[in-house]
Amino acid sequence: MTGWFSFLHGEATAGDVLALRRVEAVLRGAGLAYDVVWSPGFRSDGHHFADVDPAAYSRLVFVCGPVHGPQVEELHRRFAHCVRVAVGVSVVDPGSPAVTGFHRVLARDAAGTGPTLDLAARAPALPARPVVGVVLTHGQHEYGGQRRHEEVAAELTRWLAAKDCARLELETRLDAHDWRLCGTPAQLESVLARLDLVVTDRLHGMVLALRAGVPALAVDPVAGGAKVSAQARACGWPALVAAERLEEGLLEHWWHWCLACGGRDEAARIGAGFRAVDAAGDAADGLVAALGAGPAG
């Protein structure tokens, strides 16, 4: 089985891979064996065209996406002896060699025919994965030689790339003119409240997550600890990793704690405490008295 997810310079979209899962389920139900060809850029450990012997197969199935272009035409030449079927595809030019090379085309949409449901819609149900907001900073040059921001960001993103979760890059900076950024705190809070976890090296990444009742795996990017560590203490939040201790084992420990009941319950408790009548004091509590005081002597 092939698709645009098979080509070296193609792309694997979530819809294409779900369409593949639907076809796999049909073939398994019929007791038919198959192999899937993947782009080495997407799955290095899978079957690749460079390793496939066409003579070992009698059927070729092309799944999803538009049927056009030289890459699809090359399939017809290389697998000329096979029965070739395209399923769940879009037919843009029915006279194209990429289309006419198939023995059968089971289209999802084509000129002169009614559309059929996309294959991804009926793909097998998938287990839920944690939704993780990632809030990182590369600035804060005021810390000079104590800065470990680049190292922290590189290690966190490397580690996160291997986690089976949905990652959502977020920015605390507001911008009323950039559609990619939130324009108000309320917009950002609405996003945070829907997450399972926030991974951050920013003070406000941690505080805003806890304010929304969402656990935060916080890393202080300043050697020796600075405002992130201080704020974690002020909040009573334990899931903090120092830049000097940015080890995978420690990250894994707090990852599991944050996603378990203990971390979720503690974040909810702290968030509720922020809003309580008897909430812990902050600097604003002394502002009025400070405004009434005379100039500093």
Q: Which two tokens stand for residue 271?
A: 């968030």
| Residue whose token pair is 């810390």 | 143
What is the per-residue pLDDT for 140?
Answer: 80
CA atoms within 13 A on the CB side of 136: 19
Question: Could you give the CA distance from residue 74 to residue 37 in angstroms, rounded to a whole number?
Answer: 15
Q: What is the DSSP string of 46-62?
A: SB-GGG--GGG-SEEEE
| Residues 39, 46 contacting (CB under 8 angstroms) | no
Question: Could you give the CA distance from residue 150 to residue 143 in angstroms, rounded to a whole number?
Answer: 13
End-to-end Cα, the chain, rounded Å: 80
3-state secondary structure of 147: strand
Task: Report which residue type is found at 85.
Answer: V
CA atoms within 13 A on the CB side of 176: 1
Q: Which residues pair with 230 in a beta bridge?
A: none
Q: At what angle do helices 248-259 and 261-275 cross, to 10 degrees?
A: 70
What is the per-residue pLDDT for 116?
Answer: 94
Question: Could you give the CA distance from residue 244 to residue 148 in angstroms, rounded to a whole number?
Answer: 9
Residues of the chain with pLDDT under 70: 294, 296-297
What is the per-residue pLDDT for 100?
Answer: 97
What is the per-residue pLDDT for 278?
Answer: 83
| Residue whose token pair is 């595809």 | 89
Burial class (CB in 10 A: 0-12, 13-18, 19+), 20: buried
Question: Could you give the CA distance from residue 34 to residue 51 in angstroms, rounded to a whole number?
Answer: 15
What is the per-residue pLDDT for 277?
Answer: 74
Task: Report which residue type is found at 235.
Answer: C
Question: Could you give the CA distance from residue 1 to residue 223 in angstroms, rounded to a whole number?
Answer: 51
CB atoms within 10 A of CB 209: 31
What is the per-residue pLDDT for 48?
Answer: 93
Greatest alpha-carbon span in the chain: 93
